[in-house]
Amino acid sequence: MERKQMAHPTYLTNESKVAEFEARIARGEKIEPGDWMPDAYRKQLIRMISQHAHSEIVGMLPEGAWITRAPNLRRKMVLLAKVQDEAGHGQYLYHAAETLGVTREEMIDALLAGRAKYASVFNYATLGWADIGAIGWLVDGAAIMNQTMLAHCSYGPYSRAMVRICAEEGFHKKQGQEMIIRYAQGSPVQRRMAQEAIDRWWWPALMMFGPHDNESANTPQLVRWGIKTKTNDELRQEFIDELVPALRALDLSVPDAQMHYDETTGHWNGSEIDWDEFWRVIKGDGPMNAARLSARQQAHEDGRWVREAAEAYAAKMTVNGRAPAHA
């Protein structure tokens, strides 16, 4: 069925356009690129999707460092496939952001200039091979929780990108979980490796869900317009409730002595996140922020010749502004 783009007759006031827009979201309709949308909706999506895309691309660096040091060919192939997936996720998301009118160059320039945010978790170092397992299970596990929620997002291109990405994230989480399970059931050295990796990645993974709801500047608007269908704290609690029992079943612990099961609520509760660390890392003062940014700047510089060659080829192939008939 031909989908009529939801333009609005000019005489409608902004209030009535917003009311109609919100009624569409309440009916569960997807907002598409050509539809009318409040500027604030567009701005929120450009902010969130571009940061999500940056997170995928920067997120390749912590694990990429271990591809050449994988313990065997199988692990190397799995890690290669995962890191390659993340690059593809970044492309889907940059493209989804472009449907809102921002250019790829604007987004990349913002990242390379250090003006753009990306998930703070990627500013921590991968100090041992078992970190790859902890990242897969905890970081990709947290990402899946968040992204499964975003697959219901009111903006069509974002929700469809999430459906595609979540399918691949499932493999990312499983390969990490399988690695930690094996090491937890392995030699004392392997068990220690697994526990140290969980200790390193537990708190940065909890921080992926953002500040508490009552401190989250963006959540009210994002929930109102169906971009988020769950809040930061709801998703974080789901994550804790899933991971703590699963780690305890392996005789592994989370690095939080206060973690306990609350019979009355049916949830696992622990200590407060170190919010000073959270904001310090987001503001650029994490263990690896400078290294991550310079790695992306170097990669962009190294890829300059490819971009120039592609532009020269495209220009050659286009005669008087039109691709030749045979192309």
**130 versus 139: smaller Cβ distance to ligand 3HC:** 139
Stretch that binds ligand 3HC, among 208-216, 268-276, 289-297, 298-306 (CB under 6 A): 208-216
CB of 283 to ligand 3HC, least distance (A): 10
Among the listed residues 216, 229, 253, 297, the single contact to ligand 3HC using CB under 6 A? 216
- Coil, helix or strand at residue 222: helix
Burial 248-260 (b: 16+ CB within 10 A, else e): eebebebebeebe
DSSP letters spanning 74-95 = HHHHHHHHHHHHHHHHHHHHHH
Number of H helices, E strands in the chain: 14, 2
132 contributes a contact to ligand 3HC by CB under 6 A: no
- What whole-number distance in Å separates Cα of residue 147 and Cα of residue 225? 17
129 contributes a contact to ligand 3HC by CB under 6 A: no
Q: What does the radius of gyration of the chain's CA atoms come to, in whole angstroms?
A: 22
Alpha carbon dihedral 248, 250, 251, 252, in 10-degree steps, equals -70
Among the listed residues 35, 63, 86, 98, the single contact to ligand 3HC using CB under 6 A? 86
Q: Give the end-to-end CA distance of the chain in Å, rounded to a whole number.
A: 31
Among the listed residues 7, 73, 189, 217, the single contact to ligand 3HC using CB under 6 A? 217
Of residues 20-39, those binding ligand 3HC (CB under 6 A): none
41 contributes a contact to ligand 3HC by CB under 6 A: no
Stretch that binds ligand 3HC, among 6-14, 117-125, 177-185, 257-265 (CB under 6 A): 117-125
Q: Which of 203, 45, 204, 201 is nearest to 119 (CA)?
A: 204
Stretch that binds ligand 3HC, among 173-181, 213-221, 264-272, 313-321 (CB under 6 A): 213-221
**161 versus 244: smaller Cβ distance to ligand 3HC:** 161
Helix boundaries (H) for 1-59: 14-26, 39-58
CB of 256 to ligand 3HC, least distance (A): 18
244 contributes a contact to ligand 3HC by CB under 6 A: no
Beta bridge partners of 267: 262
208 contributes a contact to ligand 3HC by CB under 6 A: yes
48 contributes a contact to ligand 3HC by CB under 6 A: yes
**35 versus 56: smaller Cβ distance to ligand 3HC:** 56
Extract the tokens encoding 215. 């401190």
Among the listed residues 126, 175, 177, 219, the single contact to ligand 3HC using CB under 6 A? 219
CB of 16 to ligand 3HC, least distance (A): 28
Among the listed residues 176, 211, 226, 286, the single contact to ligand 3HC using CB under 6 A? 211
- What whole-number distance in Å separates Cα of residue 56 and Cα of residue 87? 7
> Is 106:168 a contact under the CB 8 Å cutoff?
no
**55 versus 195: smaller Cβ distance to ligand 3HC:** 55
**184 versus 206: smaller Cβ distance to ligand 3HC:** 206
Residue 273, amino acid: I
CA distances from 207 to 141, 153, 244 (A): 13, 21, 16
Binding site for ligand 3HC (CB under 6 A): 47-48, 51-52, 55-56, 59, 86, 89, 117, 119-120, 139-140, 143, 146, 207-211, 216-219, 222, 232, 282
